[in-house]
Amino acid sequence: MPKITYIEHNGKEHTIEAAVGQTVMEGAVKHAIPGIDADCGGACACATCHVYVDPAWADKTGKPGGMEQSMLDFANDVEPTSRLSCQIKVTAELDGLVVRMPPSQH
């Protein structure tokens, strides 16, 4: 299973194995990794699963879709590689992915 590393805003790293077909958000939440709230459970309804994709991986994860971009417009501390992690599907290609958490989700 592809490995994903989540780095909390305080620098604490968590590496987990995520199932292909899950989302990057689900990988974090199901392992109770702090820093991603994902209140709506992945319905793209709340914008509380914001992450910064490591720039080395930004091409592989791609750009936000229209709905996602509209939600990111209202998130705090947005950066060029900001994504909602519920909209990034885990694939074999993403093995080794690194994402960082923003200071807060609300």
The rounded Cα 31 to chain-centroid distance in angstroms is 14
The DSSP bridge pattern shows strands 97-100 and 3-7 to be parallel
By CB under 8 A, is residue 65 in contact with other proteins? Answer: no
Residue 75's closest CA among 55, 96, 99, 46? 46
Q: How far is CA 80 from the centre of its chain?
A: 14
How many other β-carbons are positioned within 10 Å of the β-carbon of residue 42? 17
Tell me the window of 3-11, 56-64, 68-76, 91-99 that interacts with other proteins (CB under 8 A). Answer: 68-76
Residue from 41, 60, 63, 78 in contact with other proteins (CB under 8 A): 41
Answer for which of 4, 47, 90, 99 binds other proteins (CB under 8 A) is: 47
Residues 5 to 34 in contact with other proteins, rule: CB under 8 A: 22, 26, 29-32, 34
Identify which of residues 46 and 58 has a Cβ nearer to other proteins in the complex. Answer: 46
Q: Does 1 bind other proteins (CB under 8 A)?
A: no
Using the rule CB under 8 A, is 39 a contact of other proteins? yes
The DSSP call for residue 22 is: S
The smaller minimum CB distance to other proteins, of residues 32 and 59, is found at 32
Paired tokens of 24: 């990057």
